[in-house]
């Protein structure tokens, strides 16, 4: 099919590349000329694993082109996917759909052939029915243009796989013709057995925000339980594992920690609440305010923990931050919990040295006061506290014995609950996490002397060998280890 993709951000660029990879002729359109130049050269303008590998051959073959012209898009496409952003409206919880409106208004009068306009952007329920009238009104004489809504469920970091092998396809259509066009566009996925749900546009719009609101609720739920674990001396990671085996619950989105961020979950929770309120159903979604508030509190709590680990004040301290992206696998720092904590810690007087394998440039552009190191060791040099804020795989492999040699004080806060903290404790670190019972660690790995670590324990005394009181070479006491 001849497809255009209007808007080439994280969603549109991936969608365009994937549609070309399954055999369609695709034209990507964006008003950002720099981005278009990159894409037209087969380069990804942001980090998304696998995207460049898909772009290069598709561009080279001529099946995938990029441009800035709506006239070219209108002349070319029989299927136009609208993939522009719908951020939170300034001064409101509602979504700003002005970019969607503008795309439709610029494209439809230039459509030179019968076509289907397909919204993929996440919008408040009712947007499609409002825009259907706009499309009908703006279509040139002799051209039949129709609107459908086909929400996208891709996650950054796994966007290619999510697009090429989706768990479901949702088509909000008003005619058999629109339904047939979408089935044709996604034929390889449907043939591979992907469930295809054909419904009306309003239901399709609502499926998307409901999915994101549900995921956000799940994350906030486990974070509330993490707080209960903290006071009950229970372990939220084990608890989540046990919950996840229940097929009615499932293991996804049960990672307790710093909470959700990015361009979607928080924005969609608020937009759903705002839209429900407009429609007179605010009571029905009142709990979404709690989901949002629980999430915001994680960031404040993380800053409080960092401050308390630093001895009660952050002023004059040096804080190492591992990870600033909103999650691993992306360079996206939009509403990043990690970056928010790093910035707050810096505002409270700490000198922050951060590391992130992909997101440093985007983070620096927003917060030039943060310093970035090229590696973990550089970020941790002389640190009074190490904050693990985005769970990139490589941080889980850090050798705590070796790192201990470069910090000023061996204190680590794992705000993502994935570091092997028993090992860190065995290496002499004071370690904290949300809702974790961290047993005194077994002494695995090289002894501190071999790693060049400092043996002198903080708090006096000399290190004790493992014994009945404490089954590790515990170099430091902390609130849960009684061996000192
Ligand atoms: C989310 C949805 O998962 C996608 O289905 C949807 O298409 C997309 O929004 C969108 O609307 O465009 P994404 O924002 O890429 O995708 O990221 P997620 O993987 O859902 O993670 C969102 C946030 O929740 C991240 O900050 C992550 O660290 C956090 N999270 C996730 C947790 O705190 N715990 C978890 O167990 C899972």
Q: Is the dihedral of CA 211, 215, 220, 225 positive or negative?
A: positive
- Residue 243, ligand 1, Cβ within 6 A: no
Give the end of a domain, one of 273, 289, 305: 289
Q: Which residue, among 150, 126, 362, has the nearest Cα to 262 in the 3D structure?
A: 362
265 alpha carbon – ligand 1 mean position (Å): 6
Top mutation candidate among 165, 210, 215 for ligand 1, by most atoms within 8 Å of CB: 215
The pLDDT of residue 471: 38
pLDDT > 90 in the chain, percent = 89
The pLDDT of residue 440: 59
Strand (E) positions, 308-410? 318-322, 351-355, 371-372, 385-388
The overall average pLDDT reported for the chain is 92
> Both 423 and 336 in a single domain?
yes
> Both 373 and 254 in a single domain?
no
Examine the pLDDT at 206 and tell me if it is beyond 80.
Answer: yes
DSSP SS3 for 198: strand
What is d(CA 312, CA 13) in angstroms, rounded to the nearest whole number?
Answer: 46
| pLDDT, average across residues 139-163 | 97
> Both 189 and 86 in a single domain?
yes
* Residue of 111, 115, 264, 470 with catalytic role: 264
- What does residue 70 show for φ and ψ, rounded to 5 degrees? -70, -30
Beta bridge partners of 82: 6, 119
Examine the pLDDT at 63 and tell me if it is beyond 60.
Answer: yes
Q: What is the number of domains present in the chain?
A: 4
> Both 276 and 386 in a single domain?
no
Q: Crossing angle for the helix pair 337-347 and 287-309, nearest 10 degrees?
A: 50
> Both 316 and 398 in a single domain?
yes
Neighbours of 245 (CB within 10 A): 9
- Residue 261, ligand 1, Cβ within 6 A: yes
> Both 20 and 139 in a single domain?
yes
257 alpha carbon – ligand 1 mean position (Å): 13
Residue 438 pLDDT grade (very low, low, confident, very high; cuts 50, 70, 90): confident
The pLDDT of residue 469: 42
> Both 84 and 103 in a single domain?
yes
Residues written for the chain: 484
- Evaluate whether 457 touches 463 at the Cβ level (below 8 Å): yes
pLDDT > 70 in the chain, percent = 90
Residue 388 pLDDT grade (very low, low, confident, very high; cuts 50, 70, 90): very high
DSSP 8-state code for residue 232? H
Give the end of a domain, one of 159, 182, 199: 199
**Per-residue pLDDT tens over the stretch 300-319:** 999 999 999 999 999 999 99
Residue 468 pLDDT grade (very low, low, confident, very high; cuts 50, 70, 90): very low
Residue 388 is encoded by which pair of tokens?
A: 């693990």
> Both 270 and 241 in a single domain?
yes
Residue 481 pLDDT grade (very low, low, confident, very high; cuts 50, 70, 90): very low
The pLDDT of residue 70: 98
Query: Which atom of ligand 1 lies closest to the CA of 254?
Result: 36
Task: Decide if 470 is catalytic.
Answer: no
- Residue 212, ligand 1, Cβ within 6 A: yes
Query: Which atom of ligand 1 lies closest to the CA of 257?
Result: 33
> Both 356 and 431 in a single domain?
yes
- Residue 392, ligand 1, Cβ within 6 A: no
Please report, for the domain that includes residue 165, its CATH number.
3.40.50.720
The least confident of 72-76, 221-225, 466-470 is 466-470
Residue 437 pLDDT grade (very low, low, confident, very high; cuts 50, 70, 90): confident
The pLDDT of residue 284: 81
> Both 406 and 310 in a single domain?
yes
DSSP SS3 for 318: strand
Examine the pLDDT at 465 and tell me if it is beyond 50.
Answer: no
- Residue labelled with tokens 């309120």: 277
DSSP string across 87-127: -BPTTSSSB--HHHHHHHHHHGGG--S-EEEEE-S---TTH
Q: Which residue, among 164, 150, 162, has the nearest Cα to 116 in the 3D structure?
A: 150
Top mutation candidate among 159, 206, 223, 262 for ligand 1, by most atoms within 8 Å of CB: 262
Q: Which residue, among 276, 298, 297, 278, has the nearest Cα to 287 in the 3D structure?
A: 276
> Both 252 and 106 in a single domain?
no
Give the end of a domain, one of 289, 306, 321: 289
pTM of the model: 0.90
The pLDDT of residue 439: 65
Q: pLDDT: is 8 or 282 the higher one?
A: 8
The pLDDT of residue 93: 94
> Both 447 and 465 in a single domain?
no
């Amino acid at each position: 099919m001849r497809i255009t993709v209007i808007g080439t951000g994280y969603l549109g660029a991936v969608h365009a590349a994937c549609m070309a990879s399954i055999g369609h002729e695709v034209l990507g359109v964006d008003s950002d000329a720099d981005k278009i130049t990159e894409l037209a050269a087969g380069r990804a303008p942001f980090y998304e694993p696998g995207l460049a590998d898909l772009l290069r051959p598709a561009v080279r073959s001529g099946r995938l082109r990029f441009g800035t012209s709506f006239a070219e898009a209108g002349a070319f496409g029989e299927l136009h996917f609208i993939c522009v952003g719908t951020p939170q409206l300034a001064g409101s919880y509602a979504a700003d759909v002005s970019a969607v409106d503008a795309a439709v208004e610029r494209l439809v009068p230039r459509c030179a052939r019968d076509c289907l306009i397909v919204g993929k952007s996440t919008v408040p329920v009712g947007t499609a029915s409002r825009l259907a009238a706009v499309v009908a009104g703006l279509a040139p004489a002799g051209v039949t243009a129709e609107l459908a809504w086909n929400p996208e469920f891709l996650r950054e970091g796994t966007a290619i796989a999510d697009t090429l092998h989706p768990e479901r396809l949702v088509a909000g259509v008003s005619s058999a013709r629109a339904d047939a066009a979408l089935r044709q566009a996604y034929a390889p996925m449907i043939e591979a057995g992907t469930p295809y749900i054909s419904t009306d546009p309003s239901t399709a719009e609502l499926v998307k925000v409901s999915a994101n609101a549900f995921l956000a609720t799940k994350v906030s739920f486990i974070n509330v339980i993490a707080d209960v674990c903290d006071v009950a001396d229970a372990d939220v990671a084990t608890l989540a594992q046990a919950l996840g085996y229940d097929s009615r619950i499932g293991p996804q989105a049960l990672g307790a920690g710093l909470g959700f961020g990015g361009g979607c979950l928080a924005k969609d929770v608020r937009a759903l609440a705002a839209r429900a309120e407009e429609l007179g159903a605010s009571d029905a979604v009142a709990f979404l305010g709690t989901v949002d508030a629980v999430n915001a509190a994680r960031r404040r709590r993380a800053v409080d923990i960092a401050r308390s680990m630093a001895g009660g004040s952050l002023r004059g301290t040096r804080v190492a931050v591992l990870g600033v992206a909103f999650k691993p696998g992306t360079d996206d720092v939009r509403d990043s919990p990690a970056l928010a904590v790093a910035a707050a810690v810096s505002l409270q007087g700490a000198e922050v040295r951060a590391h992130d394998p992909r997101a440093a440039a985007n983070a620096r552009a927003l917060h030039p006061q943060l310093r970035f190191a090229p590696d973990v060791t550089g970020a941790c040099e002389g640190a009074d506290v190490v904050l693990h804020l985005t769970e990139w795989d490589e941080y889980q492999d850090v050798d705590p014995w070796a790192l201990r040699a470069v910090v000023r004080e061996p204190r680590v806060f794992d705000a993502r609950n994935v570091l092997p903290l028993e090992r860190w404790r065995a290496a002499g670190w004071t370690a904290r996490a949300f809702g974790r019972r961290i047993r005194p660690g077994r002494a695995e790995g090289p002894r501190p002397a071999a790693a060049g670590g400092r043996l002198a324990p903080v708090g006096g005394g000399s290190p004790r060998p493992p014994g009945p009181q404490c089954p590790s070479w515990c170099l430091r006491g902390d609130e849960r280890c009684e061996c000192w």
